[in-house]
Amino acid sequence: MLLLNLGTPDATDYWSVRRYLKEFLSDPRVIETNKFLWWPILNLVILSVRPQKSGHAYEQIWDKERDESPLRTITRDQSESLAKRLSGDDVVVDWAMRYGNPSTASVLEKLQKQGCQKILLVPLYPQYSATTTATANDQAFKALRDMRWQPAVRTMPAYFETPEYVRALAESIRTGVEKLDFDPQLVITSYHGMPVEYLKRGDPYHCQCYKTTRLVREYLGWPEERLMVTFQSRFGPTEWLQPYTDRTLEALPKRGIKRVAILAPAFSADCIETLEEINIGGRETFLEAGGEQFGYIDCLNASEPGMEMIEALVRRELSGWV
């Protein structure tokens, strides 16, 4: 079994971040612009200036003792936890990144050498998008294409509406709110954004995000106005899915909402988009706009509820194999 996550640079210096960003932003699943138009913009403009900015952001959250990003630490923890849970079923569990290291190809090769002839690919994205789930699977299929003796392969589908995920996410919100030293007037579910054009081309991500939040709200028994959907991390001049998280946080205090809690349900593990963009940048935006209290609720990560959820999902997908 192979857990697949987005990726991370190996370090926070210019060249490490540049290598990571080049691989990420060269992916036609992520940037659907004509490659002949995009290449000079990426290589002559973006990769000249963005690595410094992103490197500084990574430095804010980097684990100095392990010398790695939280995403790498958490994904490894998830893999090790799942391996223990499945230890009695003769299942090998490993993890890889779509961009950066450990690469998908290198881990698939390792699994094959260990004798794994049936592999379940587990993209750790609750909501499906061509920019996440599809490209993670693409990279695995690309590696498999070069194997003389290919293993049998299954891919785990998006799990945005499964009872296990809804329950785990809802209970994490309930617990997260209870741990705060204030009562939030509003809880925001901030999902990673995407260009509106991708939605128009048929990507189901937008609808799945709203369905996740609706199912969680119904599970909690909260009124509609208690839980809000926003979209973060937009990039470039084109229109992205709205409402935007940063502009929402800036506007809420003017509407009298000065106590908020926020979480990022599209991420299975805390990373730069959650820890730096939301918990640091979002907090500053809200407080500077007149907000008074801001709480961030962690991703499910390798928590007991989160791992129970992943175990239940993968056991379902492994049916007939183990």
Q: Are strands 293-296 and 259-263 parallel, antiparallel or unpaired?
A: parallel
Structure tokens at 84: 């223990």
Is 206 annotated as a binding-site member? no
pLDDT at 118: 96
Among the listed residues 127, 135, 155, the one whose alpha carbon sits nearest the alpha carbon of residue 23 = 135
Going from N- to C-terminal start, the domains of the chain cover 2-159+306-317, 163-296
Please state, in angstroms and rounded to a whole number, the distance separating the CA atoms of residues 98 and 110: 16
Q: Do domains 2-159+306-317 and 163-296 have the same CATH topology?
A: yes
Is 56 annotated as a binding-site member? no
pLDDT at 299: 98
pLDDT along the chain (322 residues), means of 10: 98 98 96 93 95 97 97 98 93 97 97 95 98 98 94 97 98 98 98 97 98 98 97 93 98 98 98 98 98 98 98 97 92
Could you write out the DSSP letters of every residue in 30-84?
T--S-HHHHHHHIIIIIHHHHHHHHHHHHHHH-BTTTTB-HHHHHHHHHHHHHHH
pLDDT at 188: 98
pLDDT at 237: 87
Beta carbons within 8 Å of 48's beta carbon, 6+ residues apart = none
- CATH for 2-159+306-317 is 3.40.50.1400
pLDDT at 89: 86
The domain 163-296 is placed in CATH, from the list 3.40.50.2300, 3.40.50.1400, 3.10.20.30, 3.10.129.10, at: 3.40.50.1400
